[in-house]
Structure 1
Amino acid sequence: MKRSLIALALVAALPFAASAQDAKSGLSYNYVQGGYVSTNTDAGDADGWALGGSVAVHPNVHLFGSYTSQNVDGVNADFDQWRVGAGYNKSFSPKADFVANVAYEKYDLGGGLDFDGYSAEAGVRGALTPMLEGYALLGYEDGGDFDGDAYGRLGAQVKFNQSWGVVADVKIADGDTQWFVGPRITW
């Protein structure tokens, strides 16, 4: 059912990509960000810090990566997560882009417990006002050793100027929630 829902969402998004205009949306895919991250699950909660960034290598292609390190509440344990990938972005209006990302993901739970996985997501990113951007993505992730999950991701950036802003992101998957907030520098 989850895979069918994701497939349906991606198929529904294809006409937007196919009818996209060549007009630039003015959204930058060149940034570095860092900040606070928190994960809330049925098995327990964790929090820590995260670093991430993206660089445009073509007007419609960007590479991205992130690293998070979180401590699990109530126990002496932590986990790290790496994510690297490539994305496609295409303007379909003067202020909005269709975005599709694929990524390799690595989870390290310590004590020799680690696993590799992948994720794929697609959605819309847009400039809501000159000082506010937002995005909404639907995705699917599979960790190899655990069953895959569909997820939704919402985010926004409040810009102080063309270079500095504060970004917030929330990802919801099967009742688990991960959120991030921190400063971003864009060029």
Structure 2
Amino acid sequence: MKRSPAFSKLAALTLLAALPFAASAADGLSYNFVQGNYVRTNTDAGDADGWGLNGSVAVHPNVHLFGSYANQKVDGTSTDFDQWRVGVGYNKAFSPKADFVANVAYDKYDAGGGVDFDGYSIEGGVRAALAPKFEGYAMLGYEDGNQFDGDVYGRLGAQVKFNQNWGVAADVKVANGGDTQWMVGPRLTW
């Protein structure tokens, strides 16, 4: 699959331009991070695993941009697929340790050979600093696209913080019907 160098440069410039902004979030929460992941997907049609990257940058006290990329290989085959997600989120503290979060994203799945799906997702939920070194979130979402029917999903996530900048984060997404995708990996927060 051929990647556009212009897209990569634009994404890098966007991240650099947004670095000076700080998020106005609940105490202990930051919307500025980058994370590497091991990713696993389990569906009735088959299972897959691989690697991924995701991140978020605050561009306003209550607005953040986010994105993710994952490449997974379907178990028992030579087929792999790319999964992209880019979007904008709104965060608003409703207590000293918790934020309401709403996200809207463009989603793309590409298995090559003309097999690709474009869509969108919206989700809302709560993210909270549950302890000085532990945070978590719970989201309820809906996704729809040009090649798949709309589906409701739930996402749960958590991060254990080693210090102000480093931690390990995990996320699990469960779609209506039982399909799951989970990821875990190191996170750098600033």
C-alpha RMSD of the superposition: 1.1
Instruction: Pick one of 107, 110, 119 that aligns with 1:108.
Output: 110
CA contact (8 A) 1:70 1:79 kept: yes
CA contact (8 A) 1:61 1:87 kept: yes
1:26 offset after TM fit, Å? 3.5
Within 2, Cα distance between the matches of 1:42 and 1:24?
A: 39
TM-score, normalised via structure 1 length? 0.87
Partner of 2:14: none
CA contact (8 A) 1:151 1:173 kept: yes
| Aligned length, in residue pairs | 166
CA contact (8 A) 2:25 2:91 kept: no
Partner AA of 1:47 in structure 2: D
Partner of 2:72: 70
Instruction: Pick one of 127, 130, 145 that aligns with 2:129.
Output: 127
Q: Between the two structures, name the one with larger relative contact order (CA 8 Å, sep ≥ 6).
A: 1
Decide whether aligned partners of structure 1 residues 24 and 74 sit closer, same or farther in structure 2, where only a CA change above 3 A counts. closer
The question of 1:38 aligning with 2:40 is answered yes
Within 2, Cα distance between the matches of 1:154 and 1:131?
A: 17
CA contact (8 A) 1:25 1:97 kept: no
1:35 offset after TM fit, Å? 1.4
Partner of 1:182: 185
CA contact (8 A) 1:79 1:110 kept: yes
Within 2, Cα distance between the matches of 1:156 and 1:23?
A: 17
Decide whether aligned partners of structure 1 residues 185 and 118 sit closer, same or farther in structure 2, where only a CA change above 3 A counts. same
Decide whether aligned partners of structure 1 residues 42 and 25 sit closer, same or farther in structure 2, where only a CA change above 3 A counts. same
Partner of 1:14: none
TM-score, normalised via structure 2 length? 0.85
Within 2, Cα distance between the matches of 1:75 and 1:168?
A: 27
Q: Secondary structure at the match of 1:49?
A: strand
1:143 offset after TM fit, Å? 2.2
The runs of at least 4 consecutive aligned structure 1 residues that moved more than 6 Å come to none
Identical amino acids, percent of aligned pairs: 79
1:144 offset after TM fit, Å? 1.5
1:1-187 aligned at under 5 Å gives the runs 24-174=26-176, 175-187=178-190
Within 1, Cα distance between the matches of 2:109 and 2:76?
A: 20
CA contact (8 A) 1:87 1:102 kept: yes
